[in-house]
Amino acid sequence: MGSLSIPTVILGVSALLVASRIIVKRTYQIPQVVRSSIVETLDACIFAAILSLVIITFIVQAFYIPSGSMEPTLMVNDRILVAKFLYRVEPVERGDVIVFRYPLNPQRDFVKRVIGRPGDRVQLKEGVVYINGQRLSETAYTIRPDFGNYGPVVVPEKQYLVLGDNRNNSEDSRFFGYVPRANIIGKALFIYWPPQRIGFVH
């Protein structure tokens, strides 16, 4: 993401619309009928901007996938919808695909799959993930082969261990450590673009 976030841009546009409304309403050289029409249009735009801000901040937000670290689940150039409200009412589960603020640079957003939850003992042996000593079945979403080793580690409280589905091409918890709960933005739910890729994220 750039230095300006979408909510910041929306707030800026809203402020500009409000200022324009004030100016138009006080410009008496403009005929009353025309002024009323312009003000009504600006009111509609202000309402739309505020509604967009509420939706993006609390409900759902769109994200773009720039890399292949989550292939085959998410492909380069996919655009996804992320539910920001879900984790207010339910816990983060193993297997969830999440968008989060990168722990080493919170200005960047990453997308990975949750593998380890708080208290889990996680180990990778020749590419196979073991959770608390039990092999984790990942044939539905990972790219093989992967012969990497990692751990064992115990995930701290309020932290999560995340991995990319494309294990050989993913910067994930093996490199930057755990993801704090506070960094999690939401759960990836739906691919809405390109058209041939439309569907739920699993």
Quick one: which of 79, 76, 69 has its CA closest to 169? 69
Instruction: Specify whether 112 is catalytic.
Output: yes
Residue 2 has pLDDT above 80, yes or no: no
Instruction: Specify whether 25 is catalytic.
Output: no
Torsion of CA 195, 164, 167, 149, to 10 degrees: -170
**pTM, entire model:** 0.77
How many angstroms separate the CA atoms of 41 and 44, rounded? 5
Residue 143 pLDDT: 79
How many angstroms separate the CA atoms of 95 and 158, rounded? 17
Q: Which of 25, 37, 67, 69 is catalytic?
A: 69
How many angstroms separate the CA atoms of 114 and 124, rounded? 14
Q: Which of 112, 170, 173, 187 is catalytic?
A: 112
pLDDT digits (tens, 9 = 90+) for 143-197: 776 778 999 999 999 999 999 999 999 999 999 999 999 999 999 999 999 999 9
How many angstroms separate the CA atoms of 160 and 184, rounded? 9
pLDDT digits (tens, 9 = 90+) for 16-60: 888 998 998 888 888 888 888 998 998 899 888 887 777 766 678
